[in-house]
Each structure stands twice: as structure tokens, then as C-alpha cells.
Structure 1
């Protein structure tokens, strides 16, 4: 593999900033020193640029197999790399659902052929596949995904006995989507009686309500405490839920962790008037108070990870009436720059961004040799210019679906280069043609 020498970067890593040269050899970070004087195959002048560990997104939906009219592993991994995300963990609600080890392996095979970013895939749980779940290889699979609330696909796990067995016997981390289905259906029935099929999207957070989220999240926490399960609750969307989590224990010792998503940190229910179904997600984007409470929990350590829940749909699908329009939207290309925008607004530090989007994900999932800028670790790196404004428009959107909820926004920061497992995968707007992503492994 070509050697890469990054010169005079401002390194953001492990709660510090410092200027250094970084040498990449054979896909690994070889040396980190104040000055490295040697020739490399590729030299990058990073003076004035910030070097972050590559972001690790622990929740994406890349739609392959079966839903590739929305996106696929190749297209969405390219968008991720352009946004500074070097590794992703993808969800099992593709078609067919990844509910057997054979179907799970099919996804790994596709990624090995097509992914520009490093990859892992969650094993899916259903009401009747416990024996398959228990066959999952803990060193080669990121975790088990449990939908404790229906979402895209048909993977609702609502059988109490199944949930007990899953939490009691899981050999690895369980990641949950938490919304109480009975509450959602009751709310939906109420609004259908009032409005028929003409329900406006602004009522989405009333239907998929704060109560539905808290009931389900608190139940997951209770089950995890009962069985000492390693639980990771995805996309927290309410301030109330943040109080289910602790910040008085080291991350390595936490048994229950949580994730916040970009859209819940950026938008509020006031934005439905302008954005409509483009910001229809499950769980729903809720109030400004919820948004502020989630950010507070990110900053004080109750919430450990920032991710995307990238879930593309075509603009035609999103243009349907509220009840027919699917939930989810594309985010991987703009996640890091959106968080850097919050940095520019004084709401988060650069060190916290590196912690929540790289370090902590690696620690929580016990990822081998990724998530930090350390000698001997894989060279997953992203160079950012904090002072290079750019405008999000259709011509520079890389998602297969061709749209973004950030379209029309101007970001102050721009990703300049992304290195994936030692390969220069993105530089100044150009993406590499080779598929440089590797399968993520876990030290378990």
C-alpha cells in the first residue's frame, strides 16, 4: 500500500489538540511526531487543517439488499466517506430481513465487493429466531438489533417472553429501537378519528409520542438491569429519556449506553412547517426543549454516541401524504459538518465531537484498533477545514436518493480528505474508485 505523510495537522484526539505529522504505512498509523522528515508516496500539507479520527456511525440503513431504489452499500458508503465517516454499522431491516446467519453473511459479501468505508452489520432479532441470534459470532458482528417498536420493515419484537430470553441470553451488545407500539397505535387511532386520513406531519411527534418513547426505553433499561445485559439504546428523542442513563461511571464499565442522532440535535417540531416529511423520522423529532435536553446529555456524558440513523427514501416516496410517506432520511454526508456547525455556535467542542463520533463508538462496541489516532491503529482519518464555507445543493449531494434535509444550508466547515484503512478514499471532492473498506472486528 502507498505510504501517506500528513504534515503539520492540528490533531484532535483523546481530549487534546496538538500539531503533528502523521505517517501512514501498510494501512496503519506508523508514527505521530512533531516533525517527520522522510519521503512518502503521498504527502498532504495539512497546515491550518484539523485531523480527526474517522467517524464511526453505529446506525445506518444502506438499503441493500432489496431496497436499492433508495440507495445501496456502494452509493451510501461513498457519501459517508465524503462526509468523514470511515466506518458504519448497518441495520438488519433490509429485504429480506437479516434474521439468519446466511442472510447476514450475504450482506457482508456485498460490502466486501462494494463498500468504500469499513463495515459491520447487525444481526436482526424477531419474535421467533432466538436460536439464530445465539449463533452470532461476537468477534465479527457488531451487535444484535431489536425493534421494540415497529419501523421500516416487519421486525417488531413485542413478545414479552422473547424479550426476556433475548436480554437474558444475548452473547453480545443489544441495540434497541424503543417506541411502545400500543401507545403509538392508540395515538394514531385518536387522530384518525379526528382527521381521517388527512393527518398533517406536524402531528408525527404526537403520534409517535414522548410517552411511547419513555415507556419502551425504560422497559429496555429495566430488562437490561435485571439480566445484566449489555444494552445500547439508539436515537434518544426526548429529554425525559436522558435521565435513564448514568454519567457517574467510566464508559468502559457501563452496561447501558445511549445514542443521539444528528436530526434530534438539529431540528425541532417547529421545522415540520418548512421541511414536512423530509424530517419525518422514527422516533419523531420533538420539541426544542427535547433537542436542548438531548444535547445537554451528550455534553455531560449521559448520552455516549452521536450517529445518523441514515435512512434514505426517494423524493417521490417522501412527497406522499403523511400516512403513506416513509420515515427516515439521508444524513451521512453531512453529519460531521453539521456537528462542526454546532461547534461554531459554541455548543460543543472539537474534542467532544471526536469523542462522541469516534472514540466512544469504538469503546462501546469494543472495536479493534479503530476510533483513535494512535500508533499501530488502522489509519481511519479525516482532515477538515474549519473555515471553508460551502452550500448544500443538489449538485453536490452524493446520496442515491438525491436530496438532503440540509439542502439550502451553508456550513462553515468542509471535509477535505478522508483516509479509510490507509487508503486515500476522498480528496478535495474526488472519490477513489477502489473499494477500500474492511470488515470491522471486535475485541470480545
Structure 2
């Protein structure tokens, strides 16, 4: 049967209008603005009354860590992709710092094979770069792999690429977009030593933003921009966190840029003052920084200097997080709550709903050249989300789908809720239930 999502408020390509969408198989067959024609035959069509609901394209999260293989006590592709579906994320791009690392074509393919078996939503995986795997990196197929991930700051997983000759070769010859984690290692080590001299091993979490400082971020980000400019590389800098870095980027349409920028939900929501209440639960790399940095990120996002909004979803167990500063790992789970958090900020006047959809759905599709996703268009894959914009609910353990069982937004009340998520035309999530747990596909890219 076909599916007709009827009388929704469609938010797509900068417009908000009442309309309906007809799904046939995996694709969108027809978009009806206003009303469905009176003579439309619904005899072999499931009709979903979406009156009062928003209908949007599925979000595309270009930065997640689903922890499989090797770290599956924290999360795994099956559990975290279900959380993504519950959050209205229909495509994710997953990072290579697993165990083993995805730094050979063989290990990368294993992740694709596993996702084909268990992923609830669509997927791609980054090829990881190291100081000594250039040959493997250059074998990457740009039509099948979202990008090359370069850790220009060690963060986690011991994948730091700090050899200048290797960096030059990657930026010069990468067959795909290069996505970077930018924090200068020498600056962080120097700041860590200063903190240890003052506090010993009992460094307060509030010092995290001074250890992993704006200078550490800027020094590394500016180096990446310099390399990309020199070699005409498609560069995407992940999880920007500081005001200082905003001078490196230009406003404009994402499709017109070679150098692009991402901000994560937590850097738009939290700032240094929140360490008091949240402690190591909001310890991320790069760090949550000062209020002025958060304000600058918002200004850059609205001015189109920053192109996409993502999560850097990186689950750890509460036992791991509830440690002292040096022992608590960085990262937290977010993929189930990113869309509703941004819609909440829209209600508070920070950003329009149309802009949220642009930055979480359209722009990632354009930036990565994803094939026929990210928009509500005829002939595109039916990756769609229904949202109730007037449904209040509180994040609590009983409705958290992350394997780690907790969320930074726990006890937060949101006034909008994901009702249903369609992946490749099939409803995989509906009213707090996962219906089809393994319907995701590997996305492809237009090169």
C-alpha cells in the first residue's frame, strides 16, 4: 500500500505550509500543497491524519559515535540507531575511533556490514586517518563513504594525526571531504600541567574549558583551514566551540563552499555556568566554553558562517562519567534529543523552525552530497518525521533509548515531541515504539 500523510504543516526549503505527502515504496511520489484533490483515490492507500503536526525531512547527523565494535557496553549500532529514530534522525555518519579502529578498508566494510544487519535508520561511516595509513585512506570510495576523519587533537582513541607531511598528503589527495577534530595537543598539555600544579589530581570540572581552551581550538582549526586553502580541499570542521574560531569562516550557501563548519547542540545549549549543576556529564571535547562563546556560535549559525547542527553523540556509562576530572571520559549521548532540543530553542526565539530544518536536514545533505535525501521532494527517499509541536514531556530513564541509560537532558521538559519517523518510506518509530528495528540503508553520495 501507499501511504498518504494528510493535512500536516510541512516545513521544507524555507517554507511552512499546510500540505500532504504521498509515499510509494521508498520514495516520495507526490507533494500536495494545501489540500489533496477531491478525486484522489485512496483505496489502496494508508491515510495518516497529520492535522496539527509538523512534517519535516528526517534529520541527518554528520557526527556520531555508536561504539561498535569493541565498546558495546556504552552503545551499539542497534541501540543507538533506535534512539536516532526516536529523535527524528533518519541518517547518521559514524566515527572511526572504535576498537578496532576503522583505519583499513576491511575494518570500515565490517561496520557497513554490521549496520546493514541491525540499523534502524540510514548510515554511513567515516574512514579514519592515522600517521601511517595513507594508502588505505586513498582507497576510499567517495560515492559510498561520507568522508575522511582526521583527529588534529587526540581526544579519544589514540588517533592523533600530528605528522605535518602526512597531513599535507591527506589534504592534498583525499578522495572525499576531510572532516577534522581540531584541538592543538601541545596547548592542551601545557594547560593541563598548569592545572595540575594548582590543583593536583583534583582539578575541578569548571577548568575543562580553560584546559581545552579557545586558543587550543583556534590554533588547530586555523591550521586545518590553511591546509585546505593551500590544497583546495573540501574541509569540514566538526564541533566548533569558540568565538575565536568564527573568524575563520565566511557566510554563504553551503553548496558554494569548500570550507564548512559544524556546531553541536550542546555548545548551543550549555555554557561554563552549567558545570556547577551538570559536572562531568557535560564534559565534552572540545569543551563547553563561556557564555560569550555560545553567543558567538549562535551569531555565526544565524549568519550562515556555521553550516550544520549535529550531536557528536558519544555515550559513556554513568559509572564512567561519575569520576574525577581526569578519570571521567569526554562525550555524552544526544542523538535522541537533538531535534526536540533545537525546536525548543526555536520556541524560545533563538532560531526559526525553518532554520532548524535547514541546518539539521537540508545543509548536511548538500554539504556531503547525499543522494536524494534531506528534503521533502518528489522522487526523493521518504525519510520523514512527524512532530507534535504542542506535546509536553519530560526526559526520564523510562523514555531514554540509549544503551547507557542516561541523557544530559534528563529531567528537561520539552514542549514538542517526535510522533513518527519514516525511513525509506517505512514507519520505523511511532508513538514511543520502535516498529521496524533494522530498515536502514547505506546512503550514497553524488560524486
TM-score, with length taken from structure 1: 0.98
Summarize deviations over 1:149-183 as a string: whole Å, max 9, x none.
01120100011111111111111100000000000
Per the TM alignment, residue 212 of structure 1 is displaced from its structure 2 partner at its CA by 0.0
In 2, Cα distance between equivalents of 1:184 and 1:38: 64
**Residue matched to 1:65:** 69
Deviation at 1:424, TM superposition (A): 0.1
Alpha-carbon separation, structure 2, partners of 1:177 and 1:38 = 52
8 Å CA contact retained: 2:321, 2:329: yes
1:42 and 1:94 mapped to 2: Cα distance? Answer: 41
- Which residue number in structure 1 is paired with residue 4 of structure 2? 5
Match runs of 1:247-286 below 5 Å: 247=251, 249-286=252-289
TM-score (structure 2 length as normaliser): 0.98
SS of the residue aligned with 2:336?
Answer: coil
Q: What is the SS of the residue equivalent to 2:70? A: coil
Other-structure match for 1:18: 17
Q: Verify: 1:94 aligned to 2:98, yes or no.
A: yes
User: Which of 325, 329, 332 is 2:328 aligned to?
Assistant: 325
**Equivalence for 2:213:** 209
How do 1:340-359 residues align onto structure 2 when only pairs under 5 Å count? 340-359=343-362
Moved more, 216-225 or 35-44: 35-44
Residue correspondence of structure 1 range 33-52 to structure 2 within 5 A: 33=32, 34-35=35-36, 37-39=40-42, 40-52=44-56
**Alpha-carbon deviations, 1:226-250, whole Å to 9, x = none?**
1100000000000111121111x43
Match of 1:237 in 2: 241
2:107: which partner in 1? 103
Q: For the residues of structure 2 that align with 1:243 and 1:436, how far apart are their CA atoms? A: 42
The aligned length equals 442
Q: Secondary structure at the match of 2:62?
A: strand
Q: 1:420 aligns with which of 420, 423, 426?
A: 423
Instruction: Tell me the equivalent position of 2:153.
Output: 149
Q: Secondary structure at the match of 2:60?
A: strand
1:161 aligns with 2:160: no
Tell me whether 30-39 or 271-280 shows the greater mean CA deviation.
30-39
Counterparts of 2:434 and 2:281 in 1: how far apart (Å)? 27
Cα distance in 2 between the residues matched to 1:242 and 1:431: 40
- How many angstroms apart in 2 are the aligned matches of 1:274 and 1:332? 22
Q: CA deviation at 1:41?
A: 4.3
- Residue in 1 that maps onto 2:379: 376
Between 1:35-44 and 1:215-224, the stretch displaced more is 35-44
Runs of 5+ unmatched residues, structure 2: none
Deviates more, 1:93-102 or 1:187-196: 187-196
Q: Match of 1:367, SS? A: coil
SS in 2 for 1:295: helix
Distance 1:361 1:324 in 2: 34
Q: For the residues of structure 2 that align with 1:43 and 1:84, how far apart are their CA atoms?
A: 20
* Secondary structure of the corresponding residue to residue 127 of structure 1: coil
Moved runs in structure 1, 4+ residues, more than 3 A? none
* Aligned counterparts of 1:109 and 1:41: Cα–Cα separation in 2: 33
Structure 1: segments with no counterpart, 5+ residues: none
* Other-structure match for 1:334: 337
